Amino acid sequence: MKKRWYDYLWIFSAVYLIIGFFNILFAWIGLLCFFIPLIISVAGGGKAYCNRYCGRGQLFSLLGGRFGLSRQKSPPKFLRRKWFRYAFLTFFFAMFFQMIWNTWLVFEGAQSLRQVVTLLWTFKLPWHWAYHGTSVSSWAVQFAFGFYGVMLTSTVLGIITMVTFKPRTWCVYCPMGTMTQLICKAKSGKIIKLRK
pLDDT digits (tens, 9 = 90+) for 157-192: 999 999 999 999 999 999 999 999 999 989 887 544
pLDDT digits (tens, 9 = 90+) for 59-115: 999 999 999 999 999 999 999 999 999 999 999 999 999 999 999 999 999 999 999
Residue 135 is predicted with a pLDDT of 86
Residue 189 is predicted with a pLDDT of 76
Q: Is it the case that residue 119 has pLDDT exceeding 60? A: yes
Instruction: In whole angstroms, give the CA distance from residue 164 to residue 63.
Output: 13
Residue 190 is predicted with a pLDDT of 59
Q: Would you place residue 195 in the very low, low, confident or very high pLDDT band (cuts 50, 70, 90)?
A: very low
pLDDT digits (tens, 9 = 90+) for 21-52: 999 999 999 999 999 999 999 998 889 999 99
- Annotate the chain with DSSP letters as a single string: ----GGGGTHHHHHHHHHHHHH-GGGGGGGGHHHHHHHHHIIIIITTHIIIII-HHHHHHHIIIIIT--S--PPPPGGGGSHHHHHHHHHHHHHHHHHHHHHHHHHHHTSS----EEEETTTEEEE-GGG----SS-HHHHHHHHHHHHHHHHHHHHHHHHHHHS-TTTHHHH-HHHHHHHHHHHHHHTHHHHHH-
The answer to whether 65 and 166 are in contact (CB under 8 A) is no
Range of the domain at 69: 5-195
**Domains identified in the chain, total number:** 1
